[in-house]
Amino acid sequence: MTEKVDAMAKGGLLTAGVVEAARVIVEANRQSGQDPDVVALLEDVYKTLDVRLREMAATQVKDALTFAQELMKYFTAEDLERDESVAVTKVQLMMREEFERPGGVSREALAKYLDEVLPVMDQQDERIQSGLETATTPEQQAQIVQLMMQRTKERMQIEFIRDCAAGI
């Protein structure tokens, strides 16, 4: 059964709707008084589908974030400020190739997951900012300011990749 579920997943047939339908079937059979062995079998099918869907989602998130991290190695925030930056053009090309590659990260997944990263960065930045307010030495303050500058550059890169993914 696992092989069939994997084939469904790879073929794009395993969706949240399919998993929800399996859950509804289990509940309907349970409520109708179906044989307990049949209900147990249906529940096993549902659980297998649910686990595989969650694994797929986690893999997609990991792949999207890994790809974004890889892209960030090829350009800087300063490259974004230049007209016709070779580094930025290379990153855009890499994104197009990835989006067109069978089994590659999708533009939708990349944009979605980077959208989810930005609020987390906001929370982290608030903590960093509060650290600046409580820093007691000039050295601590300088380190925190440096960290804040680096985070601003990373945010610019992430926003560029997200916007580019949404627009390609």
Query: Which residue segment(s) compose the domain that 135 sits in?
Result: 74-168
Number of domains in the chain: 2
Please indicate, yes or no, whether residues 168 and 99 belong to a single structural domain of this protein: yes
Please indicate, yes or no, whether residues 94 and 133 belong to a single structural domain of this protein: yes
Please indicate, yes or no, whether residues 65 and 135 belong to a single structural domain of this protein: no
Residue, of 122 and 5, whose pLDDT is higher:
122
Please indicate, yes or no, whether residues 160 and 113 belong to a single structural domain of this protein: yes
Q: Which of 56, 71, 86 is the last residue of a domain?
A: 71
pTM for the model stands at: 0.65
Q: Which of 22, 55, 71 is the last residue of a domain?
A: 71
Q: Give the torsion sign (CA, 83, 81, 165, 99).
A: positive
Using 50, 70 and 90 to split pLDDT, how confident is the model at 96? very high
- 24-43, pLDDT tens digit by residue? 998 999 999 999 988 899 89
Please indicate, yes or no, whether residues 84 and 4 belong to a single structural domain of this protein: no
DSSP letters of the chain? -HHHHHHHHHTT---HHHHHHHHHHHHHHHHTT--HHHHHHHHHHHHHHHHHHHHHHHHHHHHHHHHHHHHHTS--HHHHTSTT-HHHHHHHHHHHHHHHSTTPPPHHHHHHHHHHHHHHHHHHHHHHHHHHHH--SHHHHHHHHHHHHHHHHHHHHHHHHHHHHHH-
Q: Which of 18, 46, 71 is the last residue of a domain?
A: 71
- 114-157, pLDDT tens digit by residue? 888 889 999 999 999 898 888 889 899 999 899 999 999 999 99
Please indicate, yes or no, whether residues 65 and 131 belong to a single structural domain of this protein: no
Please indicate, yes or no, whether residues 120 and 91 belong to a single structural domain of this protein: yes
